[in-house]
């Protein structure tokens, strides 16, 4: 056996399925109203039913997680968030929309391709213990032991949620891509891990203050898209989105090293709600030839 074949024998089989976690894609679309109005009565009715089926509960071969939303502002009319172990299951949803009767009236405006991940800054049990000691906790006390044991019990659930997240159902949504700065005097990737971890711990502490009001999923796009990470936020109320982003901008990780792309804000909505909101009376099947 050659060296190359021996080395390959220890590697997993080639696959598009991640070794852990899911693929995640965000898609945003705009309706071309002029093209939509050119469709016949039958095409509108058939296309609307296809739209509901592709994106609704009637789709049996869709991704493991799918969410639809109406987008505010001019950047898009509606958006999708999809997660699955196989990337082409996600991509097929996009292609099915374009191939549907309404496809001629759909214009993709933005997409973001990423993978779920466990952040390298999520503390292990030992790192959590060290953090408590640095903060002045006495490791010989029952209270210290209780905190460490509680964290250890929560850790598997935290890992599971990061790799295989359940999309929240709260109504207000926001997505944005981001990088960490790599400029002279502020290069995130040249800092010692301990310094980066401390700043991310501060960042996480700010976010925890919004528990019960905002939840997030951060996915990694390094090597897959133009930005390094994608941040998806869900909130009980849109005001909380504004507040959490504002508060966290003062953390060192954001203030010194955060670089942010376009923001897409929207509201979780059903496929039928999207059709009615965006196309209104024009979607009435009595319209057209």
212-249 pLDDT tens trace: 999 999 999 999 999 999 999 999 999 999 999 999 99
Please list the helix, strand and coil fractions of the chain in percent, rounded to the nearest 5, in that order: 40, 25, 35
For the cut 50, the answer to whether the pLDDT of residue 192 exceeds it is yes
12 pLDDT more than 90: no
**Of 102, 36, 32, 96, the residue nearest 66 (C-alpha):** 96
Q: At what angle do helices 41-55 and 271-279 cross, to 10 degrees?
A: 140
- What is the Cα Rg of the chain in Å? 23
pLDDT of residue 285: 47
Looking at per-residue confidence, does 132 or 99 come out higher? Answer: 99
Q: Is the pLDDT of residue 286 over 60?
A: no
Task: Report, as an integer, the average pLDDT of 35-62.
Answer: 89
pLDDT at 288: 43
Segment 34-39 long-range contacts (CB within 8 Å, at least 24 positions apart): 35/104, 35/105, 36/102, 36/105, 36/279, 36/282, 37/282, 37/287, 37/288, 38/104, 39/101, 39/102, 39/104, 39/105, 39/288
pLDDT of residue 289: 41
Q: What is the pLDDT of residue 134?
A: 82
User: To which H or E segment does residue 244 belong?
Assistant: helix 238-248
So what's the pLDDT on residue 5?
55
- Averaged over 130-155, what is the pLDDT? 84
Find the distance separating the first CA and the last CA of the chain, reported in whole Å. 70
Q: Can you tell me the distance from the alpha carbon of 252 to that of 258, in angstroms, rounded to the nearest whole number?
A: 9
Q: How confident is the model at residue 137 (pLDDT cuts 50, 70, 90)?
A: confident
Q: Can you tell me the mean pLDDT for 247-274? A: 96
pLDDT in tens, 160-169: 889 999 999 9
73 in Cβ contact with 174 (< 8 Å): no
The residue behind tokens 């792309």 is 261
Name the average pLDDT for the chain: 90
**Contact criterion met (CB below 8 Å) for 225 and 112:** yes
- Whether 287 shows a pLDDT value over 80: the answer reads no
Quote the pTM value.
Answer: 0.88
pLDDT of 115 > 70? The answer is yes
State the pLDDT at residue 2.
54
pLDDT band for 149, please (50, 70, 90 cuts).
Answer: confident
pLDDT tops 50 at residue 1? no
- Give the residue, 81 or 60, on which the prediction is more confident: 81
| pLDDT of 66 above 90 | yes
């Amino acid at each position: 056996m050659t060296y190359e074949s021996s080395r390959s024998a220890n590697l997993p089989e080639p696959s598009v399925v991640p070794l852990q976690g899911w693929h995640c894609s965000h898609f945003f679309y705009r309706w071309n109203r002029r093209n939509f109005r050119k469709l016949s009565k039958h095409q509108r009715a058939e296309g609307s039913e296809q739209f509901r089926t592709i994106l609704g509960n009637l789709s049996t071969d869709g991704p493991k997680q799918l969410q639809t939303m109406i987008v505010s502002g001019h950047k898009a009319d509606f958006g999708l968030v999809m997660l699955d172990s196989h990337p082409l299951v996600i991509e097929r949803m996009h292609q099915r929309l374009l191939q549907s009767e309404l496809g001629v009236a759909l214009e993709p405006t933005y997409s973001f391709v990423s993978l779920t991940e466990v952040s390298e800054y999520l503390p292990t049990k030992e790192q959590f213990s060290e953090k408590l000691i640095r903060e002045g906790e006495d490791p010989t006390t029952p209270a210290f032991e209780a905190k460490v044991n509680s964290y250890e019990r929560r850790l598997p659930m935290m890992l599971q949620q990061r790799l295989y997240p359940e999309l929240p159902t709260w109504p207000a949504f926001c997505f944005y891509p981001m990088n960490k700065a790599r400029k002279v005097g502020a290069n995130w990737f040249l800092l010692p891990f301990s310094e980066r971890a401390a700043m991310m711990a501060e960042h996480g502490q700010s976010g925890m203050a919004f528990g019960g009001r905002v939840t997030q999923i951060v996915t990694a796009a390094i090597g897959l898209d133009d930005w390094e990470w994608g941040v998806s936020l869900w909130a009980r109320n849109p005001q909380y989105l504004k507040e959490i982003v504002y508060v966290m901008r003062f953390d060192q990780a954001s203030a010194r090293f955060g670089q942010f792309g376009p923001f897409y804000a929207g509201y979780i909505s059903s496929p039928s709600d999207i059709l009615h909101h965006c196309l209104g009376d024009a979607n009435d099947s009595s319209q057209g030839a």
